[in-house]
Structure 1
Amino acid sequence: MRFGKADLSQHYDVIVLGAGAGGMTAAAVAAHEGLNVLVLEKTNRLGGTTALSGGMVWAPNSASETTVGTEDNVAEARTYLDAVIGSRPGAKLRQTFLERAPEAIAYLGRNTAVKLTPLAFYPDYYPDLPGATLKGRVLEPRPFDGRTLGEAFRLLRDPLPEFTLFGGMMVSRTDIPHFRRMFRSPRSALRVAMLLIKYGLHRLNLHRGATLVLGNALAGRLVKSLRDLSVAVALETDVTRLLMENGGVGGVEIAGADGPVTVRARRGVILATGGFSHNQEMRQTYLPERAGPLSAVAPGATGDGLALGRTAGGSLPAGNESNAFWVPVSTFRRNNGAEAVYPHTVTDRGKPGMLAVASDGRRFTNEANSYHEFVTAMLRTDTGLSAVPCHLICDSTSLWRYGLGAVKPMTARRAPYLKSGYLIEAPDLNGLAAKIGVDPTALAKTVARYNSDAETGSDTLFGRGANAYHKYVGDAETSPNPCMRPLTDLPYYAVKLQPGDLGTAGGLGTDGNARVLAENGAPIPGLYACGNDMNSIMSGCYPGPGITLGPALVFGYLAAMHLAGKNTPDAG
């Protein structure tokens, strides 16, 4: 059977709903174990939100000590998760994740195109808590040549345009500093020139650059795995219901052009449709009212898997700290007229010369904290001090060096952003205060205190730059505090930030094999869930980079191995 084509008239061993990281991992593992697998994807692209993401995978104890120069273990990682998450539900699943993650990552490395490299330095998000580490727990997908996908390259979801250069060139995390220094360093100039030449050659025949990095590389590697294993794939396919047989799930019903089409699954169905980020009714039910409707998640995550799982007897457990993984976002309209949501993860907020102010013109949190923690602060701000929305402000030097939201670094042509109202510009603080609607005296005092603290290197209000994670997201070339620099270079700029999400945390309750549980705690035969269709093992907390992708890969693997009848750790 040719990849990309699916015969919906035949039966399969396993049917996977959704082609993000969790779904494609489950499909690849099941296929490698000899099962006949069908992947059904609602949209017209493969990769889901993974393809748009940073692609980091949090998988403690999966890197060798010789690789990263440090030793990790289950006990230390468990200590850290306990410190962050506390006594919230999910402890048993967290233990399963920690114990089985090394096995799952090793399996993928041996048997699929997924290749992950541990980062020598990437701190946990709360590096001062017990059990935290500065390196070794975060894995990064190796760069991937999209040309090896052949015609399937066009089926892979493109990255966000705002995270590419020149209309389709992806830039790796390690190459970003070279672009910043290309006018000051011959070595960096040469590196950038080589990248540009390579990109130009790709564009002779392709719709974008084929050197894939970050989440697009991970998604591309998973697509390559499905292709290599001849997994059947059907795009633009809506599943309308699960087939219930003998108290369990025996297949799916698909909306066809001439009526419903029934496809049976001999062993089971895996729900991996991406959660409910784009289902406004579910957002109103499970998320805070002030969170609003915005999401940076790929189209298609409309709660289909959760709805199907609930009709089969599954439920969403209570007890999460949050039912979403938060990120501040800004909104704008692209040149093609499409409305866009830009996630402010690590590119601007924690950089020198950036600060966020609430409706009273004052800072309300540490801008260098994780994106999840930043929005948590936005949502908990007292009603008399609204940070929904807030504004991220900077001076001209910081705008040039780091960009501001969708405005990329070293952007000389700012007129379109200014004309649309996305980027706000003012010649002085009084003018900026008027444009963003805050008290000018309060804003002046805020900036004066920030500037004074930046000079001394100590944030006397929130301790910005005081821990290893803050320093990581800052700029090592700035001292004495890599996260702070006085705002002195006119004009001033601002972008409006609102709450958004990178995915939902509330999902179906499952066991350690990713089987969906009925309300009485018993597994529903033939029904599994992973990715954001599975309730977050982190209970809606955000301990570190990749804590959605890590569990997605691991529990996708565990679901497939259970379906294959292999419940014990893989021995080789």
Structure 2
Amino acid sequence: MVESEAMATWDKEVDVLVVGTGAGGLTAAINAADAHGDVLVVEKADEFGGTSATSGGGIWIPASDLARDAGQADSAEEAFAYIRPQSAANVPDGTIKAFVDQAPRMLRWLHAKTPVRYDSVPYPDYHVEYEGGKHGFRTHLPRGIDGRLLGDDILKLRSASPAASLGGIVNWSFTDTNYLLFRHKGWQKVLAKMLWAYASDWKHRLRSRKDRNLTLGNALVGGLWIALRERKVPVWLDTPLVDLVEENGAITGAIVRHEGKTVRVRARRGVILAAGGFERNAEMRAEHLPGSPDPTISGSQVNNTGDAINAAARIGAGLRNMQSTWCAPVFRVPGEDRARLSSIERALPGSMMVNRDGRRFLNEAASYHVVGQKMIEGERSGGKTSPAWFVFDATYRKKYPAGPLFPIVPDALQLKGVRETMKKASSVEGLAAAIGVPADTLKATLARFNADAITGVDTEFDRGGPAYDRMYGDPSVKPNPTLAPIVAAPFYALPIYGGDIGTNGGIVTDENARALDTDGHVIAGLYAIGNTAASVMGESYPGAGVTLGPAMTFGYVAARHAMGVNA
């Protein structure tokens, strides 16, 4: 914290200072500019987009106009009934109600004021069986954007993560992924079209590997960037937040490091912190996530080190649920700077997960948050569940991806790090020896799993029973699209870890995204959104897009509140 009395002068003055260029921060900046605010955006990294750019770009928006047009009946009341019991008890009703009320308005604004376009899709909530759960149309997926519209700014857009692109280079859509995953009729043409579009952009290839076919999180961030640029809002990259400036209990600005100099920025109407969580900060993980202290266990990008959270804490902001993450099972490839989220492969038939004793311990096809939670909790209680082993056979190996291990591509041509971690054997006994588990135990586990796979009923963990499980199952496999026997040699295993895609505990905020102090009082002039703020979802993950949906919604709310715009 820096007291304003020590500040002789301001180096720059604006109405609103936004810290962070993820989807939430860009949404806030555009809204503040539309309210005739003088806005400055600062970004710690030398690229824009944050974790949002590396993500799938999906947003969870209940009762949207798009869902209504698709014939899905929904309401804010149903959404509240669905979220409330899943969210943490320390998250106030008012914050949840603010989200479900404002989210459809944010999406309506997004379509009206930016090039970003979403489609409401039949993607089920993760817990359809709960009151208020829906079988689809709350998750919205972004349409692609032509990256040539960004001009040279494409060079500064953060690339998709290796888990959300082909080889970490070629961008793909969810439709492309589905075609390639299940090899629907014409999949070769889809693949050829993707590769040709990338390779034929030869002039751009001479200066960059970045794909100008923007999809998923790249499409979302790219569209927001275009809208921000149209409003001539300045963005300072490579500009980390150093501290907040406080005067008489209110935040009046911030100190940033820009072009090698300390710059004092006054924010007349507010500072909006949208700088992500702390998942890549080893010291903070050790303090708040003792069961998961290693930053490389995260699939998030490397700049999320909790700078904004710490700055707010120094001026007395309250923190909530710092022990919580967006949990996820992840694969780790030696030499890569982040882990790779496992979202699809666990639900594909012909695979299972076993602990380090060779036993199954969960429903592998559950949401990645639930699976990640169970892996971390199991390891803490002595269950030997992180790392665990992802086990599959030759049939699976030929048909489906297993994290970074691609089908069709021979073992010898896989990435070196993948070859180093993959285990392979001609028999179950040989695989047991390779992964260090008792052979009799692994054989018994497989015997029960295979018997259940034939009947289509998982008698241990009901895999494929809940509606969400079948989302990524293979529809050509009957009677249960998530189950098939593991019988064809050779047998394979990859280590899989209980990790995360980000933290979701942070600064306590109210329904207007205003930061609150440790006594629950508003800190005037300070707002927090996205993973910098304590999530409205508590420690739960109700559906695909509950990270970006609230981040953008509260970015919309924060900017309008700071600029005095009525709802």
Match of 1:317 among 305, 308, 320: 320
Of 248-257 and 410-419, deviating more is 410-419
Identical aligned residues as a percent:
37
Take 2:290 and 2:347, find their aligned partners in 1: how far apart are those partners? 26
Structure 1 match to 2:24: 22
CA-CA distance at 1:362 after TM superposition: 0.5
Provide the residue aligned with 2:498 in structure 1.
499
Q: Which residue of 69, 82, 85 maps to 2:84? A: 82
Aligned to 1:355: 352
Question: Which residue identity lines up with residue 331 of structure 2 in the other structure?
Answer: S
- The one-letter amino acid of 1:316's match is L
**8 Å Cα contact 1:162-1:408 kept in structure 2:** no
Match in the other structure for 2:235:
233
Which of residues 211, 220, 223 is equivalent to 1:221? Answer: 223
Where does residue 4 of structure 2 map in the other structure? none
Residues 212 and 36 of structure 1: is their aligned pair in 2 closer, same or farther, counting only changes over 3 Å?
same
**Contact 2:86–2:537 (Cα < 8 Å) also in 1:** no
Q: 1:192 to 1:51 in 2, by over 3 A?
A: same
Question: Relative to 1, partners in 2 of residues 1:413 and 1:262: Cα closer, same or farther, differing over 3 Å?
Answer: same
Distance change (3 Å), C-alpha of 1:204 and 1:447: farther
Structure 1 255/287 Cα, relative in aligned 2: closer, same or farther at 3 Å? same
Partner of 1:536: 535
| 1:393-440 Cα shifts (integer Å, max 9, x gaps) | 111221232211111233224455577422111111111111111111
Letter in 1 for 2:134: T
Which of 385, 406, 412 is residue 410 of structure 2 equivalent to?
412
Shift of 1:200: 2.4
Q: Does 1:34 align with 2:36?
A: yes
Tell me, yes or no, if the aligned pair for 2:238 and 2:258 is still in contact at 8 Å: no
1:308 corresponds to = 311
**What is the rounded CA distance, in whole Å, between the counterparts of 2:279 and 2:88 in structure 1?**
26
Aligned equivalent of 1:386, options 384, 387, 393: 384
Q: CA deviation at 1:444?
A: 0.7
Q: How does 1:287-298 map to 2 (within 5 A)?
A: 287-290=289-292, 292-293=294-295, 294-298=297-301
Q: Which runs of 5+ in 2 are unaligned?
A: 1-9
What is the one-letter code of the residue matched to 1:283?
Answer: R
- Give the number of equivalent residue pairs: 552
Q: Is the 8 A contact 1:290 1:388 kept in 2?
A: no
Q: Which residue of 2 aligns with 1:368?
A: 365
Q: What are the superposed Cα offsets for residues 170-220 of structure 1, whole Å, 9 maximum, x if unpaired?
A: 1211122333465x73x4444443333322222442433221211121111
The corresponding residue for 1:332 is: 333
Distance 1:410 1:159 in 2: 23
Equivalent in the alignment of 1:129: 130
Write the mapping of 1:508-523 to structure 2, written as runs, cut at 5 A: 508-523=507-522
Partner Cα separation in structure 1 for residue 259 and residue 52 of structure 2: 30
1:153 maps to 154
Rounded Cα–Cα distance in structure 2 between residues aligned with 1:468 and 1:242: 46
Deviation, structure 1 residue 314: 0.4
Q: Distance in 2 between matches of 1:204 and 1:40?
A: 31
**Greater Cα offset, 400-409 or 447-456:** 400-409
Structure 2 CA distance, aligned partners of 1:65 and 1:233? 34
Q: For residue 3 of structure 1, what is the aligned residue in structure 2?
A: none
Asked if structure 1 preserves the Cα contact closer than 8 Å seen for 2:282 and 2:293, the reply is: no
8 Å CA contact 2:292–2:499 kept in 1: the answer is no
Shift of 1:296: 0.9
Tell me, in whole angstroms, the C-alpha distance in 2 between the residues paired with 1:387 and 1:511.
Answer: 37
Q: Which amino acid aligns with 1:96?
A: A
In structure 1, C-alpha distance between the alignment counterparts of 2:428 and 2:163, rounded to whole Å: 28
CA distance in 1, matches of 2:233, 2:391: 48
Shift of 1:10: 3.2
Q: Is the 8 A contact 2:270 2:525 kept in 1?
A: yes
Correspondences of 1:99-138 after superposition (within 5 Å): 99-119=101-121, 121-138=122-139
CA distance in 2, matches of 1:60, 1:197: 38
Amino acid across the alignment from 2:320? P
What is the distance in 1 between the residues matched to 2:258 and 2:71?
A: 54
Q: Secondary structure at the match of 2:316?
A: coil
Q: 1:248 — aligned with what?
A: 250
Alignment correspondent of 1:91: 93
Following the alignment from structure 2 to structure 1, what is the Cα–Cα distance between the partners of residues 328 and 204? 36
Structure 2: distance between partners of 1:277 and 1:258 = 26
| Separation in 1, partners of 2:80, 2:131 | 10
TM-score (norm 2): 0.93
Structure 2 Cα separation of the partners of residues 35 and 289 of structure 1:
44
Query: For 2:166 and 2:262, how far apart are their aligned partners in 1?
Result: 44
The residue aligned with 1:4 is none
The 1:162/1:94 distance shift into structure 2, 3 A limit, reads closer
Q: 1:332 to 1:166 in 2, by over 3 A?
A: closer
Worse-matched range after superposition: 421-430 or 406-415: 406-415
Query: Which stretch shows the higher mean deviation, 413-422 or 367-376?
Result: 413-422
1:254 to partner: Cα distance: 2.0
Q: Identify the residue that residue 140 of structure 1 maps to in structure 2.
A: 141
SS at match of 2:421: coil
Could you tell me whether the CA contact under 8 Å between 2:309 and 2:507 is conserved in 1?
Answer: yes
In angstroms, what is the RMSD of aligned CA positions?
Answer: 2.0
Matched AA of 1:297: S
- Per mean C-alpha deviation after superposition, the further-off stretch among 484-493 and 374-383 is 374-383
Which amino acid counterpart does residue 464 of structure 2 have in structure 1? G
Q: Deviation at 1:66?
A: 4.9
Q: 1:400 to 1:67 in 2, by over 3 A?
A: farther
| 1:2-13 map, 5 Å | 9-13=11-15
Partner SS for 1:459: coil
> Is the 1:37–1:231 Cα contact (8 Å) retained in structure 2?
yes
**Amino acid paired to 1:32:** D
CA contact (8 A) 1:90 1:538 kept: no
Partner of 1:401: 399
Amino acid at match of 1:233: V
Seen in structure 2, the aligned counterparts of structure 1 residues 312 and 203 have a Cα distance that, compared at 3 Å, is farther
1:234 to partner: Cα distance: 0.7
Structure 1: 5+ residue stretches without partners: 1-7
Q: Which SS does the other structure have where 1:179 is aligned?
A: helix
The AA in structure 1 aligned to 2:372 is V
Deviation at 1:505, TM superposition (A): 1.3
Is residue 63–residue 118 contact of structure 1 (8 Å, CA) maintained in 2? Answer: no
Q: How far apart are the structure 1 equivalents of 2:456 and 2:362?
A: 17
Deviations 1:440-469 (A, max 9, x none): 111011111111111111101100001210
For 2:396, give the aligned amino acid: S
Q: Secondary structure at the match of 1:421?
A: helix
1:256 CA drift (Å): 4.8
Provide the TM-score with structure 1 as the length reference. Answer: 0.92
User: Does the CA contact (< 8 Å) of 1:80 and 1:131 recur in 2?
Assistant: yes
Q: Could you give the per-residue CA deviations for residues 533-558 of structure 1, whole angstroms, max 9, x where no partner exists?
A: 11111111111111111100000000
User: Is the partner of 1:11 in helix, strand or coil?
Assistant: strand
Distance 2:378 2:181 in 1: 35
